[in-house]
Amino acid sequence: LASLFIVPTPIGNIQDISARALAVLQQVDLIAAEDTRHTAKLLNHYQISKPCFALHDHNEQQKSAGLIAKIQAGQSIALVSDAGTPLISDPGYHLVNDCRAAGVNIVPLPGPCAAITALSAAGLPSDRFSFEGFLPAKEKAKVDTLTALLEEPRTMIFYESPRRVLDTLEQIVKVMGPDRRVVVAREITKTFETIHGAGAAEMWQWLGEDENRRKGEIVLLIAGHKPDPHALPQAALQTLTLLVKELP
């Protein structure tokens, strides 16, 4: 049955690709890649020669009808991104949504994902978690997003840029307090892999001390909010604050 295969690729270490993923890349008629030059390196390494074409954020919506027509005509297509699992902060959502609507068979392969790999080693509760993707780049939007997550009880996972991570830690200290536990997982599966956990203020200092500690690719995790059993409910606090203002 001609299908759309969703194929995860390595997030750093080229060996992190499953035997089944390689077999699917060998078998399909076409590979839809986020960046064809990037994917060519992977294919060359595994001596796979297959027609590749670009499917990225800017052309995905307009390309999907043509791809669906190819699959309906009997060709199988593999969707890959530059690294990790397609659709996870990567292109593919529109294509998959359109394929589902058109009744095209979709076969997802399990494989590398930076968020899940970081969570598995972070030492933060992993029974429930919330994947938050990239924080907004602009300061106000970033602070608003963090404020909305202030009382989120689950472990939060973010993708972060090395240029912004120090500023993000500063905002976490301001919004969530200096003791909120955070973990920075950097360059996972690569030579300089580092996974470091600390309170937010301590992490801000640690990252600031040495530029090498914030280089490369980063997953940032924030421990969920733990309600203080002795604390007053938020509504009661607000009422008290209002009352205090009125008191002589």
Q: Does 88 bind ligand SAM (CB under 6 A)?
A: yes
Which residue stretch of 15-23, 164-172, 198-206, 215-223 sits at the interface with ligand SAM (rule: CB under 6 A)? 215-223
Which residue stretch of 35-43, 44-52, 108-116, 165-173 sits at the interface with ligand SAM (rule: CB under 6 A)? 108-116
Q: Which of 7, 11, 43, 184 binds ligand SAM (CB under 6 A)?
A: 11
The tokens of 72 are what?
Answer: 């309906």
For the bound state, the minimum distance from the C-beta of residue 82 to ligand SAM, rounded and expressed in Å, comes to 7
Q: Which residues 6+ apart lie within 8 Å of 75 measured at CB?
A: 2, 28, 29, 30
Gap between the Cα atoms of 87 and 93, Å rounded: 6
Residue 133 region by backbone torsions, left for phi larger than 0, else alpha for psi between -120 and 50, else beta: left
Gap between the Cα atoms of 194 and 139, Å rounded: 27
The tokens of 191 are what?
Answer: 């030579």
Q: Which of 67, 200, 217, 222 binds ligand SAM (CB under 6 A)?
A: 217
For the bound state, the minimum distance from the C-beta of residue 158 to ligand SAM, rounded and expressed in Å, comes to 8
Q: Does 175 bind ligand SAM (CB under 6 A)?
A: no
Which residue stretch of 58-66, 145-153, 213-221, 234-242 sits at the interface with ligand SAM (rule: CB under 6 A)? 213-221
CA angle, residues 217, 91, 224, in degrees to nearest 5: 55
Q: Does 35 bind ligand SAM (CB under 6 A)?
A: no
Which residue stretch of 54-62, 95-103, 147-155, 182-190 sits at the interface with ligand SAM (rule: CB under 6 A)? 182-190
> For the chain, first and last CA: distance in Å?
79
For the bound state, the minimum distance from the C-beta of residue 145 to ligand SAM, rounded and expressed in Å, comes to 16
Residue 51 per-residue DSSP state = -
Q: Does 90 bind ligand SAM (CB under 6 A)?
A: yes
Q: Does 84 bind ligand SAM (CB under 6 A)?
A: yes
Residue 213 per-residue DSSP state = G
For the bound state, the minimum distance from the C-beta of residue 118 to ligand SAM, rounded and expressed in Å, comes to 7
Q: Closest CB to ligand SAM among 13 and 238?
A: 13
Q: Does 207 bind ligand SAM (CB under 6 A)?
A: no
For 99-109, b/e burial (b = at least 16 CB within 10 A) is: beeeebeeeeb
How many other CB atoms are there within 10 angstroms of residue 95's CB atom? Answer: 26
Question: Which residues of the chain form contacts with ligand SAM (CB under 6 A)?
Answer: 11-12, 81, 83-85, 88-90, 113-115, 159-160, 185-190, 217-219
